[in-house]
């Protein structure tokens, strides 16, 4: 993934810094460094016990007023879609480590440093886009 991202970053019209680090620790990143954090399907593959740690790190590395955008997969309320998710859930967890029942939005809501400004679905009610800011 980093090789592919590096090739694309080298072609970009802006500065892109790629880091390979543990999201629950982020020891390569100083505090208050970023205006934005973008995350796609990170928290749905991260065990629940690590999510609050990762969100603390997101808060730490964001500048005050910095924004975040997280895209996550969640269980659908549509019975047809939910049956399909139930059928594939053990495969998805075994192969990708992903689960549809993560509590990412709840952990953000419990955070003293982060605030959700918008939650909306991008496709059906499965792909949840969570947007917010670092308070302060």
101 inside domain = yes
10 inside domain = no
pLDDT in tens, 94-115: 999 999 999 999 999 999 999 9
pLDDT in tens, 16-48: 888 889 999 999 999 999 999 999 999 999 998
8 inside domain = no
Mean per-residue pLDDT, 65-94: 96
- Find the domain containing 76 and state its range: 30-134
pTM of the model: 0.88
Q: What pLDDT shows up at residue 37? A: 94
Residues 95, 87: Cα–Cα separation, whole Å = 14
2 inside domain = no
How many domains, in total, are found in the chain? 1
Please report, for the domain that includes residue 80, its CATH number.
Answer: 3.40.50.150
5 inside domain = no
């Amino acid at each position: 993934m980093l090789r592919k991202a590096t090739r694309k970053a080298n072609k970009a019209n802006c500065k892109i810094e790629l880091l390979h680090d543990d999201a629950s620790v982020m020891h390569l990143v100083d505090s208050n460094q970023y205006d934005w954090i973008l995350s796609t399907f990170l928290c749905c593959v991260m065990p629940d016990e690590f999510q609050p740690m990762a969100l603390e790190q997101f808060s730490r590395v964001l500048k005050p007023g910095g924004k975040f955008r997280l895209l996550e997969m969640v269980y659908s309320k549509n019975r047809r879609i939910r049956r399909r998710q139930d059928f594939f859930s053990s495969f998805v967890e075994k192969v990708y480590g992903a689960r549809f029942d993560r509590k990412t939005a709840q952990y953000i809501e419990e955070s003293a440093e982060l605030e959700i400004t918008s939650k909306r679905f991008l496709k059906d009610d499965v792909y949840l886009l969570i947007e917010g800011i670092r308070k302060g």
